[in-house]
Amino acid sequence: MAQDSGSTERSSSVSSYDEAMDALSSLITQKYRADASNNGNRFELMFDYVKILDLEESISKMKIIHVAGTKGKGSTCTFTEAILRSCGFRTGLFTSPHLIDVRERFRLDGLDIGEEKFLAYFWWCWDRLKEKCNDDIPMPNLFRFLALLGFKIFAAEQVDVAIMEVGLGGKFDATNVVQTPVVCGIASLGYDHTEILGNTLGAIAGEKAGILKKGVPAFTVPQPDEAMEVLKEKAAQLDIPLQVAHPLDSKLLNGLHLGLVGDHQYLNAGLAIKLCSTWLQNTGHLEPDSMDQDTSLPHQFIKGLTTATLQGRAQIIPDPSLDIENRGDLVFYLDGAHSPESMEVCAHWFSLAIKEDDRQQSYQSNQEPDSSGTSNELVPLKSGETASKDSAQILLFNCMSVRDPQLLLPRLIKACGGHGINFNKALFVPNMSLVTKVGSSSSLPSTDSAVDISWQLTLQRVWENIILGERGNPNNGAELVSIESKDHSETGIKSCENSVVFSSLPMAIKWLRDAAKQDRSVRLQVLVTGSLHLVGDVIKLLKK
């Protein structure tokens, strides 16, 4: 392991992984988000932390690709990493949030950092910050610490390229301690975190554009006019051209498909291609203008684009608790969409995915499911049944209380409805992941029977009002399959005609499994969305 002397002072046998998670949890604060109203929450402290960790020179020499955006930045970073890894470079990828284990945020050569390495680097940073921090320079909050840890890992592991995804905004984001990236990218912009970034696209674009640097090439995707004007203005102030990357032409993949599912991914892939080709040129690995991205792609680019994977986005998991013959009776469609725009994209993906699933189910398939029960692509799900089975669509939903369900849920319902898809039932649950604790993959937090579900009841009221209006529309006469499980008076806090609120996610999963076992003539297709934390909780439960 390439690391500084002293980084193994504290061995993993002495400091367990759970102890590290407890230490991380102590950095969580509800007042950590930096914005203009709090002067970036003293953003200048980041440079003090970098100095304490002796990372100034390492970061300045690191060949970084920096990416911001409202939606698509994680996918763009994933494509970018996969392309450059396919080109033979040692890659480091920093993303957020994690779904199951915090080590997901730090990927080396496409793999989550191993536990032993993670612990060594974690305690190296932790001990030095603990020793040097004081009242004037307090310990960094959680995300800032994780960003610093990412820089430490990538510097010590001597990666050729570090792809850094912005956590929130851009100007005051912890990753923006980077002063000389090789290239910057801004993915699609939309309304999210408006309580911090502003409630206009112009204000949001201004915060995201904070990652742009003088002399550093910058790319974005086609944006709404209001956002594009601000981005161009910020770029002009820095005397840099802002180039627009257009969606990838699928024909350039030579008959293959993107590793990340969904039509919107061609937009993210197009941005990733520009970031990679520019990085290759500016680091001396590719002659300028030697690649015509409009007519062909190098085979390494195609390999990266078609093998990229990202957990929790457009992911399909047949329920592993059912036997192989009936695994297709309960299938979870997971997507961490949590903005109005991404809700619409998620709805289109889900609608097309279940139609393809229904089409595949009309044939007897001899193909067994993947041994893990998971897939990022649509695969035939052997159920032993034919097209005589009815299918029912169920929504499993939660979102943060700072988000407006009046903006999220109607977009989801309308987009699904446009494909002729109507939900039979919506299930609302609190997340299991706690905002006050960083968990590990080895254990699930215990279900708190006294959990506050007032927000879920609010979501239910919004849903029922929307459905009442939709179903009252004479043009919406969709026939819905009757779906019901055993009496849920003990598990459901409140049951309405079109929805149920559960006090915990495990109770909702049990209700779905009971329903699938009760009526073998119906296949349940469950869309899990609204929160990446919820998606992570579901994946963790299904793996147990």
Which amino acid is residue 103, in one-letter code? R
**pLDDT mean by block of 10 residues, the chain; 544 residues:** 46 70 88 56 94 98 97 96 98 94 96 96 97 95 97 98 95 96 96 71 94 97 96 97 96 96 93 97 86 84 96 92 78 93 93 84 48 40 51 96 93 96 96 74 56 92 91 54 56 83 94 91 95 92 86
Element (H, E) at 51: helix 45-52
- The per-residue pLDDT for range 339-395, each reduced to its tens digit, is 888 899 999 999 999 988 777 766 544 444 444 444 444 344 443 334 457 899 999
313 assigned to a ligand binding site: yes
Residues of the chain with CATH 3.90.190.20: 315-362+388-440+451-470+490-543
Long-range contacts (CB closer than 8 Å, 24 or more residues apart) made by 112-115 = 113/153, 115/12, 115/17
Q: For position 373, what pLDDT does the model report? A: 42
Q: At what angle do helices 142-156 and 17-25 cross, to 10 degrees?
A: 130
Give the pLDDT confidence score for residue 7 in this predicted structure.
Answer: 44
pLDDT value at residue 470 = 72
What are the CA-CA distances from residue 115 to residues 36, 61, 219 (Å)?
Answer: 37, 27, 35
Of 184, 285, 203, 287, nearest to 243 (Cα)? 184
**Nearest partner of 95 among 103, 84, 85, judged by Cα:** 103
pLDDT of residue 435: 65
Beta bridge pairs of residue 500: 427, 495
Cα–Cα dist 43/46, whole Å: 6
Would you say the C-alpha torsion 17, 9, 144, 232 has a positive or negative sign?
negative
CATH architecture of 315-362+388-440+451-470+490-543: Alpha-Beta Complex (3.90)
Question: So what's the pLDDT on residue 389?
Answer: 79
Segments of the chain assigned to CATH 3.40.1190.10: 38-307
Query: How confident is the model at residue 321, as a pLDDT?
Result: 86
Q: Which of 190, 191, 530 is nearest to 346 (CA)?
A: 530
Task: Please give the pLDDT value at position 483.
Answer: 64
Alpha carbon distance 240, 181 (integer Å): 14
Quote the pLDDT of residue 462: 97
- Domain 38-307 falls in which CATH fold? UDP-N-acetylmuramoyl-L-alanine:D-glutamate ligase (3.40.1190)
Question: Would you state the pLDDT for residue 431?
Answer: 87
